[in-house]
Amino acid sequence: MAAPAQQVENELNEALFRRKGVPPIKDLIPTSLQHVLASFAGVITPAMIIATMCNFTEAQETAIIQVALILSAIDTLLQQFPLFGRIGSGLPILTGVSFAFLPAFQAVGIEFGFSTLLGAELIGGAVAVLFGIFYTKVRGLFPPLVTGTVIFTIGVSLYPTAITYMAGGSGAADFGGVQNWIVGLITFAVVFALSNFATGVFKLGSIFFGIIIGVLVSIPFGMVSAEEVAGAAWFSLPELFPFEIVFNPAACITLAMVYVMVNVQLIGDLSASCAGSMDRMPTEREISGAIKAQGIVSMISSVLGGMPTSAFGQNVGIIVSNKVINRWVFGTAAIVFLAAGLCPKLSAILLMIPQPVIGGATISVFGTITLNGIRILVKDGLTPRACTVFGISVAFGIGIAQVSGSLTGPGMPDWLATIFGTSAITPCAVMAIILNSILPPDSEAAPDKKSLRPIEEDEDA
């Protein structure tokens, strides 16, 4: 009788590496929670920054954080379990309120105010839905050469985020302090050791266990405080239309363009996730569904007074590293986000995790994203044409992002800096699309290598 039981257990364990099926709880919990812990700070931090910038009251700041968690849950659930089979990708991806929108939101919020920002967000979400509907008409603009270049830039642009976390977090009084680096490096060492030398659930859940160890190490340094947990409420619902929604043409146009570029990033993240974990590229329907879900959630966000969502690069790195793609892993992570959004006390518990721990746990996965971009680029051969598109696009993207104020000189319109000067991804993506469109094809055929092609059917269906 032991053999059949063992066979069933093995089948459940294998479910982690399939989209369908329900993994055992002992494997589901750590693989899900590591996604939560790796992205939780990223979900709430943009909301906190906007709240500070707009001089929110404490109650308003709590509300925008609550909405950020709930929207992250809704978007992730739609990506795992598409509505009507069309809204959502059905791919292994974790989505949430993203830093990708933050620079543009700061610029619009400072100039026009939060109500105008919400109006522009509503229009931007509608533009994203239209982009998703008509994606099949413009998909030729995003071949593997373009998406691979964008993925590479996404990975590289995330490195400063991880280092900022390891150093203590932006604005921390002890930023760059020795205790932050001790905690961050110990966390990194645990994650590195488990992911490379451990087996089973410890290997697959290396981020989760690394964060647990990191939190324990940070306690003697006084980096963990439970004061906010005691004062937090047990249950709270978001409010409809907590702010007036104002439409300003300039703000709407600016954010509409930002939404298109963030959708290009979403395509890159989906491509990286699929290529690294499923050895294929996403289909047109999957990409279209992902973009439509992101747009709809953004429109809901404007009604609730929140911020829009996109894919999380650090979680793409986790997916590529451990190749766990089961939809219930991400569904469970979404449920945790939803519970945290409805239960402020749970949110406060997750907020106790020091930022050096988050940085130390996620820095290694950012490198995986970068290498996966290279993998997509070289799959069909790194031809002279491909090198030109890649090299120039990355040079513009990284260069503009690293030179502060490069697009803010005399005669430069403010919207140009808002769209292209705040993120390496946008100028890189635009340049890659333009160069790929105008450069003539290579005169010589690329090496005969198997391409990563989308498949129309899920092998596990």
What's the pLDDT tens digit per position in 293-347?
A: 999 999 999 999 988 888 877 788 788 888 899 999 999 999 999 988 898 777 7
121 contacts 282 by C-beta, under 8 angstroms = no
341 contacts 74 by C-beta, under 8 angstroms = no
414 vs 68: CA distance, rounded Å: 28
Q: Is the pLDDT score of 37 beyond 90?
A: no
Tens digits of residue pLDDT in 267-281 = 888 988 898 888 888
Token match 């092609």: residue?
453
Sequence spans of domains, the chain: 11-142+171-361
pLDDT at position 318, please?
A: 83
Tens digits of residue pLDDT in 421-430 = 766 777 888 8
Q: What percent of the chain has pLDDT over 70?
A: 87
Tens digits of residue pLDDT in 221-273 = 888 877 777 777 788 888 888 888 999 887 888 788 778 877 877 888 898 88
344 vs 231: CA distance, rounded Å: 9
212 vs 207: CA distance, rounded Å: 9
pLDDT at position 453, please?
A: 59
Task: Report in angstroms the alpha-carbon separations of 14 from 23, 78, 275.
Answer: 8, 24, 19
The pTM of this model reads 0.71
